[in-house]
């Protein structure tokens, strides 16, 4: 399980940024406008998302556009689906207490 990615996605502002980027590529100024967060805060969150390879950048003149990397989200979703399928098995055993 990719716990570091799940931790990143659990932050409310990062989750909002990811949701916005799922719809379109945006620059920091657009994300600030959409979220109402401070530019420094947005930039710090984008840096964390970029380090985790959840987003990628594309320079465009003076601006840098951020785009979601769907394959990373799909990988996390696949891990969660595998966990859900394992938990849904009808043959799960109870471990006896000592």
pLDDT given at position 24: 96
Contact by Cβ (8 Å): 69, 27: no
Domain ranges of the chain: 3-87
Tens digit of pLDDT per residue, the chain (98 long)? 578 888 888 999 999 999 999 999 999 999 999 999 999 999 999 999 999 999 999 999 999 999 999 998 898 889 889 888 888 887 778 888 98
State how far the Cα of 29 lies from the Cα of 56, in Å rounded to an integer.
Answer: 16
Contact by Cβ (8 Å): 18, 49: yes
CATH class assigned to 3-87: mainly alpha
State how far the Cα of 42 lies from the Cα of 49, in Å rounded to an integer.
Answer: 10
pLDDT (tens digit, 9 = 90+) per residue, 33-53? 999 999 999 999 999 999 999
> By three-state DSSP, how is residue 45 classified?
helix
3-state helix, strand, coil in the chain (%, to 5): 60, 15, 25
Residues in CB range of 84: below 8 A, 6 or more apart: none
């Amino acid at each position: 399980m990719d716990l570091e990615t799940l931790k990143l996605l659990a932050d409310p502002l990062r989750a909002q940024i990811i949701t916005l980027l799922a719809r379109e590529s945006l620059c920091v100024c657009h994300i600030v406008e959409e979220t109402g967060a401070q530019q420094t805060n947005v930039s710090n969150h984008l840096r964390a998302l970029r380090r985790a390879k959840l987003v990628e950048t594309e320079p465009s003149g003076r601006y840098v556009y951020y785009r979601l990397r769907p394959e990373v989200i799909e990988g996390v979703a696949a891990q969660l689906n595998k966990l859900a399928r394992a938990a849904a098995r009808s043959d799960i055993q109870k471990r006896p207490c000592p």
